[in-house]
Structure 1
Amino acid sequence: MTVIAQARLGLHDPHDCTDANDELTVLHAIYDTLVKRDGQGFVPALAREWFVSDDACVWDFTLQAGVQFHDGTLCDATAVAASLERMAREDKGYTLGAPAVWRQFLGGAKLEVFSATQLRVTLTAPMADLLDVLEQGFVVAPSAFAALDAGDHSAQVGSGPYRIVEITPSQISALRVDGHFLDRPANDKVTWLLETDAAKRQTMLANGTVQVANGLEFEASRSLGAMRHEFLSPVAIIYLLNAARGPLVDTRVRRALSLAVDREAIVATVMQGAARPLRGFISPNHFGAGQGTGAEMDHEIARALLAEAGHGDGLTLEVDCPTRLPDEAERLTGALAAQLAKVGITLNVHIHPEREDYAHMVRHKEIRDLCVFDSSPMSTYRVLYEKIDSRVAGSWWQGYANPEIEALIDKGCITTDRAARAENWRRAYALLQDDPAWLTLYNPLRVIGIAGEHPDFTMPADGVIDVPQLPLLEESALAG
């Protein structure tokens, strides 16, 4: 048996939207999706192949034949369509502070089942990056819908390479499914174990009690030697900037903020080296990542821009700051204040201890001048659509508008050629260097521990443990 120790444990409705890697690792093991993420691209899963129309509105999927859910019912095109329809419900797709995430893309879609293996999805608007959504479109047995709707989150019935056999407050266990259409997982049984203390997770790995320990301390974990695996999180730690009212309406002031920051120093002091400076608006793991050089520190230009904007004698900005998510938010804001003071900017900080209330405040566009936040979607398109496009005015949008970037968003929606679309997104992010919507700072570095020596192991681009792809660990638990 392979045991994975992690800081959070629990399953919610699989059709709600989550970026919690401790939950996604379970969901991806027990549910199939139409496609799987592979680096910056996608590979077949339930869908053996797919075709998209030139206008990026019509998607045809050919599905694996004969797939069964863990309750023995058939996972065919009708079942897939039912899951997509459920995802698009107004009461589904809820993530912290933002309801109906999936509805904005799948709402009103026409779902046509031509046979057990042929499904057509016709969108109401073009979306060449639809696979970004479908990668988290967990296909749930329709027999579980009623229980899930009633709030019974133990009703987890998928068709994935593992099936759940036990759910308790402290652990979730699953067995390998023989004959699954994807590659056979190396480990026959997996248990996700709740352990909130990172030091205890590391000790459990070191003494062989568990075979995988997620979310370890960056420096303390170095004692694990070859069992320690470091990876870049795609989550961007940022400050959302209020471009609707106040001094940050002015592009020059937003750019001055970006130029005033020494990201390397913040990484070294606030994160103790456990991050990489973010030069663009998405991580290097993202499709079409455009890092640019616009985020380099230049105090001289920053001061000149502030003076040109009428703030040569100084500027005070009001900052909203949570106490967690990111957990370093208060330390980060303190470090930022010290850096911005060097160009004449003073931060007046307002602390918010209730994180969900804080998220609702941000979603309701009630932030002051700027606020600590993160950007977690692995979809480059979703970041632009939900957070940058003024015509959408999505949950986390804060008044920013740039017609040139919005024209590129429109073009990307209908550009079905992946290479051309990646270049389109790179152009959009290059423009965001000169006219920043956010103050971008860094991508965290995370650590996972795995028993034994596995020099070829790499974490997926999204930072989620891919349990079916783990090396054989039962016999290596005491190695190292």
Structure 2
Amino acid sequence: MIYSVQLRWMFALLCILSLAACGQAPPSAAPTAASLPTSESEVVAQAPDEQATAPPAAMQHVEVLRLPGGDFGLPSPFTYSRGPGFVRMSFIYDTLIWKDSEGFIPWLATEWTVSADGTRWEFTLREGVRWHDGTPLTVDDVVFTFDYLANQPSAVLLGGTLEIISSVEQLDEQRVAIVLEQPYAPFLSNIAGTLPIIPRHIWEEIDEPAQAATLELLIGSGPYQLTQYDQASGAYLYEANQDFWLGTPYVQRIELVPVADALLSLQQGAIDATGISVDSSVTAEVLAPFREPPFAIMSTGGEWNAALHFNLAKGPPYDDVRFRQALAYTIDREELVQRVLLGNGEPGNPGGVAPSSSWYNPDVAAYAVDRERAAALLDEAGYQDTNGDGIRTMPDGQPLDLQLYFDGASMARTAELLRAMLQEVGIPLTLRPNDRPSQDALTADGNYGIAIIGYGGLGGDPDRLRQTFASTSRSRSFSRAHGYANPTFDQLASEQFTTTDEAQRKALVFTMQELLAEDVPVLPLYHPLNMHLYRPEVFAAWYYTPGGIGSGVPIWWNKHAFVTGTQTGLPMRDGL
């Protein structure tokens, strides 16, 4: 389906496709943790003195920035998909606060305070902000946003939870209070910095927003407006909002272009920057030309992973910890790094947190390859080779039938290697490839026994562990662990949720990682290095956002850089 108000762009797109034609790179590295202040009503942040350095006079704006496309849904708060979809949506909609290269910065709110007990947050809105249709953005829109999203099951709340909110109150024409039922440690990152503020006058009469998939409804306050979206090819066209509250955006036009080979497209000038996808098999020789002008490479530790999920709700063999540990001892994660990522990454951390994160516990069970120990665990659990054919059976003698579901476009190599490794200990594996949307739907619904799932956010706030693994979690995410229930883990997850002292919270999170590594409801396989290749002559203000964009999306496309042309601060920009 094509949503369009500018057909002329398709002609330009066809010209680009003659050079290269659909790739999407995943992702990842370094978190920021927000701990609440301890004073009675301490100001957490306020607007800077507009002291950031503006771009050089010779480059007061970039006319067009071309990036790899890929479909992640219409970028409405109700229809986007995954982290890349959130980033696409963030170009259109603003949040109360945002991040630059150093951490949280004012955005729609110029300042905010929090009560001593961490349950009341007050935000002062920026004056003069207007929606794309010219209507003023008001405190009433903020109150409406929280109420509306809380009552919409289709709302995509990336990393956050609105169940913790008791009320949202308008204090005056510029101030709003958000009252929590209890302290919520990641409030800034997972709600204030992630929840898109939407206009009451657009959505108030819409009962089923997920079905309202039209370009005309995408009225935000953000720096860009989506003027074209081609779902089939994954092409998006964004035009700058010339009336943006911070001034005219530095990047005037963002084109997300479908390409078959992102590196070749970068070389040929069809795109101006790209990441590296898991399935691209990029060698040092392939990367070498991009280390020299007119190109450059930035990289950071991986906050994305490919993980082997066991659905414990399906019963044997997945609900037997000895079986899961046996597979962990069997799978050579270092070999996966070398053969899938060609060395550009790290073995997965069984604790579920990226090694680049400050929340990472390096002392969890590592599961160095030990297939003799794996065989002993399988024998002990009753999964034995009873007839000498090299294939194990279930304890009741029935065939051991493992169906491995995965995204066929990006995980085929990983799946093949896993099948070969498991054969070493007599475990047969049948491969079940899917397209990404089907795979996401299948894993979200728990319709699998074992699956490879790729996702980021492992460097963001560690409350992600609670949302993913706690038996009380209401997460509907495709990355949700199914059937796992450990009362000790649940108790720790609940405690860290409300613990605002960072040292105390870190101790809780470290223990949570130890339990996950011991229980192995999920085995992270590898964390790809997060590389970003680009043309500095087109755009040079790239940076990796600490802890990821929003609640942890490990992508380099921060709208702050596109708007300001800088890595820090909020310099006001004049018109072109």
TM-score by length of 2: 0.70
The aligned residue for residue 332 of structure 1 is: 414
Deviation at 1:214, TM superposition (A): 4.9
Deviation at 1:450, TM superposition (A): 1.8
Partner-residue secondary structure (3-state), 2:428: strand
Equivalent residue in structure 1 for 2:175, among 118, 127, 132: 118
1:133 aligns with 2:190: yes
Residues 109 and 3 (structure 1), Cα distance of their counterparts in 2 relative to 1, 3 Å cut: same
1:309 aligns with 2:381: yes
Residues 212 and 335 (structure 1), Cα distance of their counterparts in 2 relative to 1, 3 Å cut: closer
Residues 45 and 430 (structure 1), Cα distance of their counterparts in 2 relative to 1, 3 Å cut: farther
Deviation at 1:305, TM superposition (A): 3.2
Deviation at 1:124, TM superposition (A): 4.8
Equivalent residue in structure 1 for 2:228, among 150, 167, 170: 167
* Structure 1 moving runs of 4+ over 6 Å: 100-103, 453-456
The aligned residue for residue 34 of structure 2 is: none
Residues 127 and 54 (structure 1), Cα distance of their counterparts in 2 relative to 1, 3 Å cut: same
CA distance, structure 2, for counterparts of residue 63 and residue 345 of structure 1:
62
The aligned residue for residue 59 of structure 2 is: none
1:194 aligns with 2:264: no
The aligned residue for residue 390 of structure 1 is: 471
Indicate conservation of the 8 Å contact 1:7/1:195, yes or no.
Answer: yes
1:31 aligns with 2:107: no
Q: How does 1:207-246 map to 2 (within 5 A)?
A: 207-215=268-276, 217=280, 218-219=282-283, 220-226=286-292, 227=295, 228-244=297-313, 245-246=315-316
Deviation at 1:446, TM superposition (A): 4.5
CA distance, structure 2, for counterparts of residue 351 and residue 3 of structure 1:
38
Equivalent residue in structure 2 for 1:365, among 430, 434, 446: 446
Deviation at 1:176, TM superposition (A): 5.4
1:320 aligns with 2:390: no
The aligned residue for residue 469 of structure 1 is: 561
Equivalent residue in structure 2 for 1:282, among 344, 349, 353: 353
Indicate conservation of the 8 Å contact 1:171/1:194, yes or no.
Answer: yes
Indicate conservation of the 8 Å contact 1:4/1:214, yes or no.
Answer: no
* Unaligned runs of at least 5 residues, structure 1: 95-99, 474-480
Residues 91 and 393 (structure 1), Cα distance of their counterparts in 2 relative to 1, 3 Å cut: closer
Indicate conservation of the 8 Å contact 2:65/2:253, yes or no.
Answer: yes
Indicate conservation of the 8 Å contact 1:238/1:372, yes or no.
Answer: yes
The aligned residue for residue 431 of structure 1 is: 515
The aligned residue for residue 47 of structure 1 is: 109
1:67 aligns with 2:151: no
CA distance, structure 2, for counterparts of residue 55 and residue 256 of structure 1:
45
CA deviation profile, 1:76-100 (whole Å, cap 9, x unmatched): 3221222222322334225xxxxx7
Indicate conservation of the 8 Å contact 2:354/2:360, yes or no.
Answer: yes
Partner-residue secondary structure (3-state), 2:218: coil
Deviation at 1:7, TM superposition (A): 2.6
The aligned residue for residue 572 of structure 2 is: none
Deviation at 1:246, TM superposition (A): 0.3
231-240 vs 211-220, which moves further: 211-220
Q: How does 1:138-157 map to 2 (within 5 A)?
A: 138-145=196-203, 149=209, 150-157=212-219
Indicate conservation of the 8 Å contact 2:75/2:89, yes or no.
Answer: no
Partner-residue secondary structure (3-state), 1:249: coil
Q: Which structure has the bigger radius of gyration?
A: 2
CA deviation profile, 1:245-296 (whole Å, cap 9, x unmatched): 1023222322222222211101111333343212231223556233434124
CA deviation profile, 1:141-184 (whole Å, cap 9, x unmatched): 33332589332134322222x232732534413225467349x7
The structure whose RCO (Cα within 8 Å, separation 6+) is larger is 2
Indicate conservation of the 8 Å contact 1:229/1:449, yes or no.
Answer: yes
237-246 vs 389-398, which moves further: 389-398
The aligned residue for residue 334 of structure 2 is: 264
CA distance, structure 1, for counterparts of residue 65 and residue 376 of structure 2:
56
Equivalent residue in structure 2 for 1:376, among 456, 459, 464: 456
Indicate conservation of the 8 Å contact 2:98/2:107, yes or no.
Answer: yes
Deviation at 1:394, TM superposition (A): 4.2
Indicate conservation of the 8 Å contact 2:309/2:453, yes or no.
Answer: yes
Indicate conservation of the 8 Å contact 1:68/1:159, yes or no.
Answer: yes
CA distance, structure 2, for counterparts of residue 286 and residue 8 of structure 1:
28
Indicate conservation of the 8 Å contact 1:46/1:64, yes or no.
Answer: yes
Residues 229 and 101 (structure 1), Cα distance of their counterparts in 2 relative to 1, 3 Å cut: closer
1:251 aligns with 2:321: yes
Partner-residue secondary structure (3-state), 1:247: coil
309-318 vs 417-426, which moves further: 309-318
Residues 40 and 374 (structure 1), Cα distance of their counterparts in 2 relative to 1, 3 Å cut: farther
Indicate conservation of the 8 Å contact 1:291/1:429, yes or no.
Answer: no
Partner-residue secondary structure (3-state), 1:122: strand
Equivalent residue in structure 1 for 2:343, among 257, 265, 273: 273
Residues 224 and 375 (structure 1), Cα distance of their counterparts in 2 relative to 1, 3 Å cut: closer
Indicate conservation of the 8 Å contact 1:319/1:371, yes or no.
Answer: no
CA distance, structure 1, for counterparts of residue 304 and residue 357 of structure 2:
10
Deviation at 1:215, TM superposition (A): 5.0
Deviation at 1:62, TM superposition (A): 3.1
